[in-house]
A and B are shown apart, each in its own frame.
Chain A
């Protein structure tokens, strides 16, 4: 679904360059947090301490690019007074980078947990329990970033729908880990760490959903935050 959006070039080529630069920065930031999330999952399931350490520290670059993008947005708002599709792009990006930054934080948190799990000196299979959940969430994130890059509300809707499955999967994983905890009370601390990682992935899924809601705002001009899937479909139709 493609409704009216920016078509063609501004009279001011410099304005075009600024908006393009802004979009590129967001895609770059998206790429960074996606890699962070992937590395976080890998470090967790493989128990890779080196990788876990680098993920735990990698949110610094993400924070830096967040500040740069915020600055670009402020600059465009102040000097260009964007309207219509340009305005929605800037507004959506302000909210998108906040979500991306939170995703980076969650990934760093997983990295820290993964490091402690390795330190905990227990190479147990439950480290890899969140693998499937994590992969699902990273797929969501990939879909959300693609939806933004292509201004594609269909993909955005698919990602939003997927979050419901992720929530179910997280609950199931929760129950599984609790069973483990009851069976092996001596591993309680590490189990809780694994559970925190699962929780962090689930949060990343929520942020990916938020990204998709911003894509829908950007493309269709509808604010669909805090709505159910059915309500979003309805808003998009009229």
Chain B
């Protein structure tokens, strides 16, 4: 301390050092942060026109959604959202509870159709096909656009039957040998086969949570989907099971297009190439994940991902 004090006393003539200036600023109430109230969950609540910041559109999109509005009865849940899901990419949708991210995800394979009072407006396409067209078979659509849910929900059947069910109803296997191959291949792609190969006839519900979720992923990919929607697939899993699912997502993106809704910002940052930030039913910002997590362009995005509200 002695040396610094010596320096201190000797330079008082020079005076205006950094600490002095900061003290003066603090005394005079000049703060470096802006004095206006920061934007938070209450803001951007008006229902007028707005513009999504960033890059919602990509070249050669796998799925496109344009001018999407979703209502639950009188209540509007999604406001004029337009977004592309790029081919063989993982897009993460983040935002505070009630922001519409899950609702939007469910419009992509018409899961909202089964909710009474829910109406969906807008144009959706999958490789150019209108997925809300009158001649669109929703069962076929959901085979092309599969879904994995928050809570693992295996059928109360054997592990084998869980995976074989989809291919059977879609007629993808012509005999037992083909079906065995589909089941094994799907379980392998879901990184589950080696763990369950000796107990394929045991109930799927007897597996651990992480294994059950991988079983559900195997079930989803058994019907050869093009897109996999994941609605908080890891929220019921421990960190190790979560890491395995994330590793799996990384492998699956080689062959599939994946849209994932997650409450874990770190997970969005880890697994996705693009990130979309939803807020009170609006799509506020879309960008490359690296950009969104290092230099978000909208104040709401910044405040949400840095933990200033949510």
Contacts A4-B299, A10-B307, A83-B269 supplied; 18 other A-B pairs, CB < 8 Å = A4-B296, A7-B299, A8-B38, A9-B308, A12-B307, A27-B19, A38-B11, A39-B7, A42-B10, A42-B11, A51-B7, A58-B3, A83-B293, A84-B295, A85-B302, A149-B21, A149-B25, A151-B32
Partner of B297, one of A4, A5, A38, A54: A4
Partner of B16, one of A8, A82, A83, A142: A142
Closest CB of chain A to B302's CB: distance in Å?
5
Closest CB of chain A to B270's CB: distance in Å?
11
What CA separation (Å) do A85 and B306 show in the bound complex? 8
Residue of B nearest to A146 (CB): B21
Residue of B nearest to A145 (CB): B18
| Chain B residues with CB under 8 A of A61 | 1, 3-4
Question: For A42, A83, A149, which residue has the most chain B Cβ atoms within 10 angstroms?
Answer: A83
Question: For A48, A81, A85, which residue has the most chain B Cβ atoms within 10 angstroms?
Answer: A85
Partner of A84, one of B10, B16, B40, B296: B296
Contact B294 A84 (CB under 8 A): yes
Known contacts: A84-B295, A87-B293. The answer to whether A10 contacts B308 by CB under 8 A is yes
> Which 6 A-B pairs give the minimum distances between C-beta atoms?
A8-B38, A221-B295, A31-B19, A7-B38, A31-B18, A54-B6
Contact A11 B307 (CB under 8 A): yes
| Chain A residues with CB under 8 A of B302 | 4-7, 84-85
Q: How many residues of B contact A (CB 8 A)?
A: 44
Contact B306 A84 (CB under 8 A): yes
Contact A7 B34 (CB under 8 A): yes
Interface string of B28-45 (1 = CB under 8 A from A): 000011100111100000
| Chain A residues with CB under 8 A of B309 | 11
Residue of A nearest to B18 (CB): A31
Closest CB of chain B to A51's CB: distance in Å?
5
| Chain A residues with CB under 8 A of B294 | 83-84, 87-88, 221
| Chain A residues with CB under 8 A of B32 | 149-151
| Chain B residues with CB under 8 A of A149 | 18, 21-22, 25, 32
Of residues 52 to 86 in A, which have CB atoms within 8 Å of B's CB atoms?
Answer: 54-55, 57-58, 60-61, 81-86
Instruction: Label chain A's interface by main secondary structure.
Output: helix
| Chain B residues with CB under 8 A of A83 | 265, 269, 293-294, 305-306
Contact B17 A86 (CB under 8 A): no
Q: How many residues of A contact B (CB 8 A)?
A: 46
Of residues 212 to 238 in A, which have CB atoms within 8 Å of B's CB atoms?
Answer: 221
| Chain A residues with CB under 8 A of B296 | 4, 84
Known contacts: A32-B4, A61-B4, A149-B32. The answer to whether A8 contacts B307 by CB under 8 A is no
Question: For B40, B306, B309, which residue has the most chain A Cβ atoms within 10 angstroms?
Answer: B306
Partner of A34, one of B17, B38, B295, B307: B17
| Chain A residues with CB under 8 A of B307 | 10-12, 15
Of residues 41 to 82 in B, which have CB atoms within 8 Å of A's CB atoms?
Answer: none
| Chain B residues with CB under 8 A of A51 | 6-7, 10
What CA separation (Å) do A15 and B306 show in the bound complex? 10
Residue of A nearest to B39 (CB): A7
- Is A35 part of the binding interface, using a Cβ–Cβ cutoff of 8 Å? yes
Of residues 123 to 175 in B, which have CB atoms within 8 Å of A's CB atoms?
Answer: none
| Chain A residues with CB under 8 A of B114 | none
